[in-house]
Amino acid sequence: MCGIVGYIGYRDAYPILIKGLHRLEYRGYDSAGVALINNDSKLSVYKAKGKVQDLEDFAKDKNITGTIGIAHTRWATHGEPSNANAHPHYSQSESLALIHNGIIENYTVLKAELTSKGYTFHSSTDTEVLVQLIEYIKSTNHCDLFTAVQLALNQVIGAYAIAVIDKSDPDQIIAARKSSPLVVGIGEDEFFLASDASPIVEYTNKVIYLEDEEIVVIRRGEEPKIVTISNVVSTPHIQELKLSLSQLEKGGYPHFMLKEIFEQPETLQSCMSGRINVEGTNVTLSGIIDYKEKFVNARRIIIIACGTSWHAGLIGEYLIEEYCRIPVEVEYASEFRYRNPVIFPDDIVIAISQSGETADSLAAIELARKAGAFVYGVCNVVGSSIPRNTDSGSYTHCGPEIGVASTKAFTAQVTVLAMMALAIAKEKGTIEKDVYLKILKELQNIPNKIKEILKLNEDIKNLSSIFTYAHNFIYLGRGYSYPVALEGALKLKEISYIHAEGYPAAEMKHGPIALIDNEMPIVAIATNNAIYEKVVSNIQEIKARNGRVIAIVSDGDETIKELADHYIQIPSTLECLDPLLSTIPLQLLAYHVAVHKNRDVDMPRNLAKSVTVE
């Protein structure tokens, strides 16, 4: 949460910073700000509540000159969204300006100490305390900015990615990270800083991903120097970015979310590419092959994740238990990390995350590793913190996901989990050859079947207009469709702000059935599977109470089409792969309801794409 950008070089910093903020706006968008050391050596800070566009409107007639600057787009943790709480924050003398992504947990103690020394504060943020502390150390120790930052960070408890500039030294940016991401871009006579590589890719493909507790000194005309907060010098590891600019643009779609929904046939191809052989008879995941003994001998698998990734984890549980016969538990990372769980050294922990930066997932990984478990990451963002903090893993390779509501990352996660289940089951000998081949073959048919479903976009758009009146929705599914019901409900609530609940269909009669009346839309995932008849009975029960049923059914279904008020017909597939198809109409339904309600689909209120605070 929160996006940070920095630039130092020979060009005007402001347009680069603003463009970078737009790219990072998915990380937080309640206020934004920029600090520049102007051509006349003045340090100017401009901030505005609202989106980056509001900052641009505010700054348009200000002095925005300068070839060095830092900028921030905020997701509030400490202090409401306001001009005062927006970053950058000045130090007391207004010589320093600092931006921060993370939380300084001991800020109240530090603030009290600084207040007693005469420092005054103009915001309710934890961040302002850090910039004041740096200035206090710099002036009392008569040291340079790097040393002051290093000493200050040694006093700080919490998470941070920071960047600081000092008007008395307009040739330098100092930045540091701990538990919040930070990337340095290396151009010709210019340097970039950002929370992820998206603001950088336009200018250079050479990057350094900072490690925890590293401080980087970026000075004009010199190579970046990296030193840890404990004063150990690190050798910068320059990597090449494999990201293209077109992946970061809407490509003619009105929203990133719609673009990402429509990309799914290609993203799933790319997720399987190089993993399933050309004959389509074998799946190889190098992360598993390298550690196959561990997987074969695993006592148990614990899946940890948050939000949509947790829903993918539930599908992973069904797949792994069914085909590998390994017991699986799926945990919210935020619960797991604080509940003193039993973790055995022969457990495997699978951490699923689109961003690879989710704070709770990272903390859960740390806990699992301390207990000696082998940790496997399933992530999308290459080079993010989770892949760098796990023993092995598989990328989902679905390209940058920018819409806050996760869509293509979910289907890619499920695809990776299906491939993992097949690969492990084959190694363990717990799957019949014909079943293995049948699933593998059908997995390769999924992208074309998704293309078929996407043709229903207009129908789903029309259907969604009927339901904009609703204040509540219920989503029902059983078996593999139960996590899909949870995911459908999450999609709807996060972008349309309509309350929605996902339930296992048979649980209805244990309580939620009381909610049903003729106004309640119920989305029933009723595709053709082993418990189809049971789902038919559940729909009967809802119809008997006048609920309005929107059913997702398989091609050729006649029974539910008769029963339901509305239906969306999708191609049939194997039960274990059904989530990859039944999810698509639910993504489209949520999208169109939100558009009908005029919601900010890609940047829904209160949310951020990457949840880097707990």
Residues 289-318 that bind ligand M6R (CB under 6 A): 306-309
From 296, 303, 330, 529, select the one nearest 430 (Cα to Cα): 296
| CA quadruple 558, 564, 565, 570: dihedral, nearest 10 | -60
Query: Which tokens is 257 given?
Result: 């979310």
Q: Which of 111, 138, 259, 609 is catalytic?
A: 609
User: Taking CB positions, which residue lies at the least distance from ligand M6R?
Assistant: 307
Does the annotation count 306 as an active-site position?
A: no
From 146, 130, 126, select the one nearest 138 (Cα to Cα): 146
Q: Which is nearer to ligand M6R, 276 or 586 (CB)?
A: 586
Query: Which tokens is 36 given?
Result: 């520049």
Q: Which is nearer to ligand M6R, 542 or 607 (CB)?
A: 607
Q: Which is nearer to ligand M6R, 304 or 324 (CB)?
A: 304
Shortest Cβ distance from residue 172 to ligand M6R (Å)? 33
Q: Which is nearer to ligand M6R, 89 or 397 (CB)?
A: 397
Size of the site for ligand M6R (CB under 6 A): 16
Q: Edge-to-edge strands of the sheet including 183-186?
A: 43-49, 31-37, 68-74, 3-8, 191-194, 183-186, 206-209, 239-240
Q: What angle do CA 19, 24, 25 make, to 5 degrees?
A: 95
Q: Which of 2, 306, 379, 576 is catalytic?
A: 2
**70: Cα within 13 Å, side-chain hemisphere:** 31
Q: How far is it, in rounded angstroms, from Cα 507 to Cα 502?
A: 10
Q: How far is it, in rounded angstroms, from Cα 109 to Cα 129?
A: 10
Shortest Cβ distance from residue 485 to ligand M6R (Å)? 15
Does the annotation count 609 as an active-site position?
A: yes
Contacts for 481 with CB less than 8 Å, ≥ 6 apart: 525, 526, 527, 529, 535, 578, 579, 582
Q: Which is nearer to ligand M6R, 305 or 570 (CB)?
A: 305
Judge contact between 444 and 276, C-beta under 8 A: yes
Residue 117: Cβ-neighbour burial (10 angstroms; 0-12, 13-18, 19+): exposed
Shortest Cβ distance from residue 256 to ligand M6R (Å)? 12
Does 133 help bind ligand M6R (rule: CB under 6 A)?
A: no
Q: Which is nearer to ligand M6R, 358 or 529 (CB)?
A: 358
Residue 326-365 contact track with ligand M6R, rule CB under 6 A, x = bound: ---------------------------xxx--x--x----
Residue 391-430 contact track with ligand M6R, rule CB under 6 A, x = bound: -------------xxx------------------------
From 424, 419, 455, 456, select the one nearest 439 (Cα to Cα): 419
Please name the helix (run of DSSP H) or strand (run of DSSP E) that holds residue 526, with its range, or none: strand 521-526
Residues near ligand M6R (CB under 6 A) are: 306-309, 353-355, 358, 361, 404-406, 490, 494, 610-611
**Residues identified as active-site:** 2, 609
